[in-house]
Structure 1
Amino acid sequence: MSSVLLLSCPDQPGIVAATAQSIADNGGNIVHAEQYVKADDGETGSVFFQRVVFDLADSVTNASFQTAFAPTAEELDMTVDLRDSAVPIPTAIMASKQPHCLYDLLIRWRSGELPMDLRVVVSNHPDHEGICTHMGIPYVHLPVTRETKPEQERQVLATLDEHGVELIVMARYMQILSDDFVSHHPMRIINIHHSFLPAFIGANPYRQAHERGVKLIGATAHYATADLDEGPIIAQDTAHVSHRETVAQLTSRGRDLETVVLARAVAAHLEHRVAVHGHRTIVYN
């Protein structure tokens, strides 16, 4: 059984040795390890981060290993997240009318590129029910207006609970989530948007960008927080553009970036390669 251990703690001597020794003492064999030390910024001190992939003996479960590792974690003041890499994360996708991110995720999931346990697609529009039904994914249509938004969010949360969802992917779900909604799934909601923010807010951002003659467009995927578009960033990418490109061409290139960046961020989360520290992330290769 292959396990992934994400840990962080105050930087100090002996962390790597203590972790490796604990894994060995429990019959584990390390197959990959990567680490990073965030320098002292005057507020939090130096912080050590590590991702360790290791195989456990058949007789050792993740639960028993975590119990055995607890004294080491306590001694070094560690935050620990342990996952069985063979168990995919139960996931929901939320979408509105725009299909590009949803369809891309469905294809990557269906082809085995994204190791997620896709449980349900939730949308405030009925547009994508056909493709989801074709792929055997439950499709829940929950329309929303400004007046019905609180009730609709309660219905969405109930749907997610019903399907045992742990990760939510906002595939161009064009609704602002309430603080209460986000608090039910902290650092487990991934959002995607164009990277013009905080410039070009509102409708038609690519038209606004075209009018300003931008030379660079991009996309950002991040965890949703109470400040929806300001959560810890997981993945970004950019493309150079010129004065020759029309609004439609800019929009098309932006959609391409959004699909790739969102898939990259979702893969990083599913593969347990993301550690959150304050307002930023450490994303392992």
Structure 2
Amino acid sequence: MTAKVKELILKFSCDDQPGIVASVASLFSLQGFNIRESSQFEDVTTRRFFMRTLLESVEGPKSLADVTTAFQSVAARYKMDWSLTDGSKKAKVMIAVSQWGHCLNELLNAWKRGTLPVDIVGVVSNHETMRKLTEWYEVPYHYLPVTKETKAEQEQQMLDLMQQTDTELLVLARYMQILSDNLCKQLEGRAINIHHSFLPGFKGAKPYHQAYDRGVKLIGATAHYVTAELDEGPIIEQEVERVTHANSPEELVEIGRNTEAVVLQRAVRWHAEHRVLLNGQKTVVFTR
């Protein structure tokens, strides 16, 4: 049966040229859609144009396939990289976690409250630590232990779970394993990670303790898409918190974890709402 939709989200990028917005608006007007929200941006350096539009049918539910077919002529004319999705459909998300649950709990709690527009289909972990928390939220928990020798097999199990549940996005909520290049390529644009990016000189163990020893005044976090280059993927969201000499290492850890949880939830939300568009190694994020 052909899917019927009342709301559509269009996002695209293409080389900037006259008439793009007019062509898009005209096409959807003819298809019986009204524009409820629209954001545009031109990268003046690359002359690339980006747009996200939320559309609502004023003639009742429409065939997604028919509307997609109708839009293809406009997309081809401007050589767009584009997607057209059902605005009411929630993205299916799998969360990966190790032994720290601050980001996991924030995501699960927002999802349970109904303020995070996703469908969390499961949690995978290389430890049992977060099982009780996950199952309290009545979410399936998949324990997938991993060693250097079993890494390829464990990652395949993760991919199999994603396929079985139609997972669209993998969220690394302090999952302390480096994904293989092969898995990164398979999940390109479909995996988000969180890390303490505002401590670039403090990599490895106990970064907040290193920061304390250096007397930093700002700590923060970055959510980014996962790539084969460790912590170098396109950035979706960042946040910082000011600290002082009076903060202990333990307080820095707590402040940092709170920041990580907030930043990751924002990134997941914006991805799920189709607000993030890739711009080479960067992103364009239409938050509103």
Q: TM-score range by the shorter chain?
A: over 0.9
Find out whether 1:48 has 2:49 as its counterpart.
yes
- In 1, Cα distance between equivalents of 2:199 and 2:182: 24
- In 1, Cα distance between equivalents of 2:217 and 2:137: 39
Secondary structure of residue in 1 paired with 2:161? helix
Q: 1:50: how far off? A: 0.7
Q: 1:208: how far off? A: 0.7
Q: 1:59: how far off? A: 4.7
Find out whether 1:6 has 2:7 as its counterpart.
no
1:17 to 15, 22, 34: 22
The amino acid across from 1:251 in the alignment is V
- In 2, Cα distance between equivalents of 1:106 and 1:263: 10
Structure 1 alignment gaps of length 5 or more: none
The amino acid across from 1:27 in the alignment is G
Q: 1:134: how far off? A: 2.4
The amino acid across from 1:124 in the alignment is N
- For 1:151, the equivalent position in structure 2 comes to 153
Structure 2 alignment gaps of length 5 or more: 1-5
- In 2, Cα distance between equivalents of 1:67 and 1:232: 31
Summarize the alignment of residues 113-262 of structure 1 with structure 2, pairs less than 5 Å apart: 113-262=115-264
Q: Normalising by structure 2, what TM-score?
A: 0.95
- In 2, Cα distance between equivalents of 1:161 and 1:87: 18
2:41 to 36, 40, 45: 36
Find out whether 1:60 has 2:69 as its counterpart.
no
- In 2, Cα distance between equivalents of 1:19 and 1:10: 15
- In 2, Cα distance between equivalents of 1:198 and 1:238: 13
Q: 1:132: how far off? A: 2.0
- In 1, Cα distance between equivalents of 2:61 and 2:144: 46
1:104 to 72, 81, 106: 106
- When residues 108 and 70 of structure 1 are mapped into structure 2, their CA distance, relative to the original with a 3 A threshold, is same
The amino acid across from 2:211 in the alignment is A
Check whether the contact 2:9–2:55 (CA below 8 A) recurs between aligned residues. yes
Secondary structure of residue in 1 paired with 2:231? helix
Instruction: Give a deviation string over 1:107-148, Cα, whole Å, max 9, x none.
Output: 000000111111110000111212222222110000112222
The amino acid across from 2:139 in the alignment is I
Secondary structure of residue in 2 paired with 1:201? coil
The amino acid across from 2:23 in the alignment is A
CA RMSD of aligned residues (A): 1.1
Secondary structure of residue in 2 paired with 1:137? coil
Secondary structure of residue in 1 paired with 2:62? coil
1:284 to 266, 283, 286: 286
- In 1, Cα distance between equivalents of 2:199 and 2:73: 45
1:89 to 84, 88, 91: 91
Q: 1:228: how far off? A: 2.7
- In 2, Cα distance between equivalents of 1:213 and 1:34: 41
The amino acid across from 1:74 in the alignment is A
Worse overlay, 261-270 or 192-201 = 192-201
Q: 1:210: how far off? A: 0.7
- In 2, Cα distance between equivalents of 1:75 and 1:229: 36
The amino acid across from 1:12 in the alignment is Q
Find out whether 1:265 has 2:267 as its counterpart.
yes
Worse overlay, 149-158 or 184-193 = 149-158
Instruction: Give a deviation string over 1:255-280, Cα, whole Å, max 9, x none.
Output: 01001000010110011110011100
Secondary structure of residue in 2 paired with 1:229? coil
- Between the aligned residues of both structures, percent identity stands at 46
Q: 1:197: how far off? A: 4.8
Secondary structure of residue in 2 paired with 1:132? helix
- In 1, Cα distance between equivalents of 2:106 and 2:74: 42
